Amino acid sequence: MTDRLLELFEQSNGAFLSGEELSERLQISRTAVWKQIERLRQQGYRFEAAPRKGYRLLAKPDIFDLPAFIGKLQTERFGKHVKYYDEVDSTQTVALSLVAEGAPEGTLVLAERQTAGRGRMGRQWHSPKGKGLWMSMILRPKHIPLSFTPQLTLLVSVALCRAIRAIVPVEAGIKWPNDLLIGGRKAAGILLESSAENETLQHIIAGVGIGVNLEPDDYPPELRNVATSLFIEAGYRIDRVELLCRFLLEWEQLYALYHEQGFAPIKLLWEALSVSLHKPIRCQTAQGLVDGYAEGIDELGALAIRLQDGTIRKMYSGDVEFR
Amino acid sequence: MTDRLLELFEQSNGAFLSGEELSERLQISRTAVWKQIERLRQQGYRFEAAPRKGYRLLAKPDIFDLPAFIGKLQTERFGKHVKYYDEVDSTQTVALSLVAEGAPEGTLVLAERQTAGRGRMGRQWHSPKGKGLWMSMILRPKHIPLSFTPQLTLLVSVALCRAIRAIVPVEAGIKWPNDLLIGGRKAAGILLESSAENETLQHIIAGVGIGVNLEPDDYPPELRNVATSLFIEAGYRIDRVELLCRFLLEWEQLYALYHEQGFAPIKLLWEALSVSLHKPIRCQTAQGLVDGYAEGIDELGALAIRLQDGTIRKMYSGDVEFR
- In order, the DSSP letters of A216-241 are GGGS-GGGTTTB--HHHHHSS---HH
Q: What is the mean pLDDT of chain B?
A: 91
Q: Kindly state the percentage of chain A with pLDDT values over 70.
A: 98
Q: Which DSSP category does A198 fall into?
A: T
The answer to whether the CB atoms of B198 and A147 lie below 8 A apart is no
CB A194 within 8 A of CB B146: yes
Residues of A in contact with B142 (CB under 8 A): 286
Which region, left, alpha or beta, applies to residue B254 given φ > 0 means left and ψ of -120 to 50 means alpha? alpha
- B277 φ, ψ (degrees, to nearest 5): -90, 160
When pLDDT is cut at 50, 70 and 90, the band that residue A13 belongs to is: confident
Collect all residues of chain A within an 8 Å Cβ-Cβ radius of residue B300. 147, 300
What length does chain B have?
A: 323
Q: What is the mean pLDDT of residues B208-236?
A: 92
Question: What pLDDT sits at residue B293?
Answer: 94
Q: What is the pLDDT of residues B290-316, one digit of tens each?
A: 899 999 999 888 899 999 999 999 888
Domains and CATH numbers, chain A: 2-59 (1.10.10.10), 66-273 (3.30.930.10), 280-322 (2.30.30.100)
Residue A271 · residue A297 · CB < 8 Å? yes
Shortest Cα distance, chain B CAs vs residue A130, angstroms = 26
Length of chain A in terms of residues written = 323
- Residue numbers in A near B316 (CB within 8 A): 145-148, 199
Q: How many angstroms separate the CA atoms of B291 and B281, rounded?
A: 6
Between positions 175 and 194 of A, the ones with CB within 8 A of B are 177-178, 190-194
Count of other CB atoms within 10 angstroms of residue B319:
14
Q: What is the pLDDT of residue B244?
A: 98
Is pLDDT above 80 for A223? yes
Q: Is B195 on the interface with A (CB under 8 A)?
A: yes
For chain A, give the percent of residues with pLDDT over 90: 67
Return the pLDDT at B271. Answer: 95
Phi and psi for B317 in degrees, rounded to 5?
A: -155, 160
Other C-beta atoms closer than 10 Å to the C-beta of B93 total: 18
At A44, is the pLDDT very low, low, confident or very high (cuts 50, 70, 90)? Answer: low
State the Cα–Cα distance between residues A68 and A240, nearest whole angstrom.
Answer: 11
Name the band, by pLDDT with cuts 50, 70 and 90, for residue A39.
Answer: confident
Kindly list the residues from chain B whose CB atom is less than 8 angstroms away from the CB atom of residue A198: 120, 153, 177-178, 190-192, 317
Q: What does the mean pLDDT of chain A come to?
A: 91
Average pLDDT over residues B25-52: 85
Please check the confidence at residue A43 and state whether its pLDDT lies above 70.
no
- How confident is the model at residue B275, as a pLDDT? 93
pLDDT band at B14 (very low <50, low <70, confident <90, very high): confident
A283 to A280, A315, B32: CA distances (angstroms): 10, 8, 74
Judge whether residue A287 has pLDDT over 90: no
Task: Give the model's pLDDT for residue A74.
Answer: 97
CA–CA min distance B166, chain A (Å): 26
pLDDT of B285 strictly over 90: no
- Out of A147, A150, A192, whose CB is closest to B316? A147
Would you say B204 and B134 are in contact if contact means Cβ atoms under 8 Å apart?
A: no
Which residue type is seen at B174?
Answer: I
User: Chain B 267-296, CB below 8 Å of chain A: which residues?
Assistant: 285-287
Q: How confident is the model at residue B42 (pLDDT cuts 50, 70, 90)?
A: low
Residue A194 to residue B191, Cβ atoms within 8 A: no
ipTM over 0.90: no
In DSSP terms, which residues pair with B111 in a beta bridge? B85, B134
Which amino acid would we find at residue B40? L
Per-residue model confidence as pLDDT tens digits over A173-186 = 999 988 999 999 99
DSSP state of B118: B
CA separation for the pair B305, B293 (Å, rounded): 5
Q: Which amino acid is at B282?
A: R
pLDDT of B44 strictly over 80: no
